[in-house]
């Protein structure tokens, strides 16, 4: 009998989007999975860690140095919307067993949808929807994924998609398309290419940028005040959910797990309903 939540040993993993969520997973996953290789992918050669901007390559080196075992950590700067660049990424790093895709943009947050431009909406769709689609496409067409590879796509840094609406209309509309891609095509990808896809929809995290913006900080505080489990969603919650979807004993395909401490669940109704 295999151990619960068993994982593939001596594997390669890829994290696309090295923000708060990607950084936490990158810091721990090599030892959790006993990886031989970890590929960190971002659209810029520098990332924000805490309050400091550092080179992605330096962050990768720090992960390698801190690992308990021998580990190759590679930093890659890639535009996920570019087919040629993503294809070359997988040609350099084939047979990825685990990947997490967090890359996304949120143009003009807290802007009414009628005030958005065509460029705002299509720009979000290009990165958030097509970018993820392109990663899957190039991976399955060019040997990027090992057989029965497991991928996790972060649908939203706000589980309010479909619940609040006005937080970032362009972002949420593009993520709605990504939700449909995941749910409607996941069976095809597992049956045809052996790629097991699931998704995560976390509620807002308190990052350094949001904390410096008065409106965003106020909204985060309002979410925290209404969180049934208390506190805000944190990167370790995302990592735990990713590891669940990465486990061989996870029997899910095309599922989306909401990680929000109960924030988006319906409030109970006390007393009689109002007369119609």
pLDDT at position 224, please? 81
CATH, residue 222: 3.40.50.720
| 130, part of any domain | yes
- Structural domain includes residue 265: no
Please list the alpha-helical segments (H only) found in 34-168.
56-66, 83-92, 118-125, 131-141
Residue 5 lies in a domain: no
**Residue 273 resides in a domain:** no
Tokens of 251: 């029997």
Residue 3 placed within a domain: no
Q: What is the DSSP letter of 127?
A: I
Residue span of the structural domain in which 158 resides: 12-259
Domain count, the chain: 1
Exposure of 128 in the CB half-sphere (CA atoms within 13 A): 27
Determine the pLDDT at residue 30: 93
Q: Evaluate whether residue 272 is within a structural domain.
A: no
pTM of the predicted structure, to 2 decimals: 0.90
Q: Which of 64, 14, 56, 21 is nearest to 38 (CA)?
A: 14
State how far the Cα of 169 lies from the Cα of 108, in Å rounded to an integer. Answer: 8
> Bridge-partner residues for 202, per DSSP?
259
What pLDDT is attached to residue 165? Answer: 46
pLDDT in tens, the chain (276 residues): 456 789 998 999 999 999 999 999 999 999 999 999 999 999 999 999 988 999 999 999 999 999 988 999 999 999 999 999 999 999 999 999 999 999 988 888 778 889 999 999 999 999 999 999 999 999 999 999 999 999 999 987 444 433 444 557 898 889 999 999 999 999 999 999 999 999 999 887 776 655 556 766 777 777 788 888 888 889 999 999 999 999 999 999 999 999 988 887 876 666 676 665
* Position 142 in a domain: yes
In-domain check, residue 136: yes
């Amino acid at each position: 009998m295999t151990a619960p939540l068993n994982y593939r040993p001596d594997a390669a993993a890829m994290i696309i989007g090295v923000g708060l969520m990607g950084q936490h997973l990158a810091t721990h996953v090599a030892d959790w999975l006993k990886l031989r290789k970890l590929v960190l992918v971002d659209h810029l050669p520098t990332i924000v860690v805490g309050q400091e901007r550092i080179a992605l390559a330096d962050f990768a080196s720090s992960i390698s140095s801190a690992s308990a075992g021998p580990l190759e950590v590679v930093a890659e700067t890639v535009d996920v919307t570019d087919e040629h660049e993503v294809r070359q990424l997988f040609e350099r790093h084939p047979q990825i067993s685990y990947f997490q895709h967090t890359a996304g943009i949120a143009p003009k947050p807290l802007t009414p949808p009628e005030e958005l431009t065509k460029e705002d909406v299509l720009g979000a769709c290009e990165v958030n929807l097509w970018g993820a689609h392109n990663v899957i496409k190039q991976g399955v067409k060019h040997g990027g994924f090992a057989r029965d590879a497991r991928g996790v796509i972060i649908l939203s840094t706000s589980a309010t998609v479909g619940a609040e609406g006005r937080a970032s209309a362009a972002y949420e509309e593009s993520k709605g398309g990504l939700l449909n891609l995941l749910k409607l095509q996941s069976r095809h990808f597992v049956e045809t290419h052996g790629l097991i896809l699931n998704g995560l929809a976390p509620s807002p995290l308190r990052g350094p940028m949001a904390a410096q913006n008065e409106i965003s900080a106020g909204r985060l505080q309002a979410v925290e005040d209404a969180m049934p489990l208390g506190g805000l969603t944190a990167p370790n919650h995302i990592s735990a959910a990713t590891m669940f979807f990465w486990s061989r004993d996870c029997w899910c395909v095309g599922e989306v797990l909401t990680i929000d401490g109960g924030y988006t669940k319906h409030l109970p109704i006390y007393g009689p309903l109002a007369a119609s």
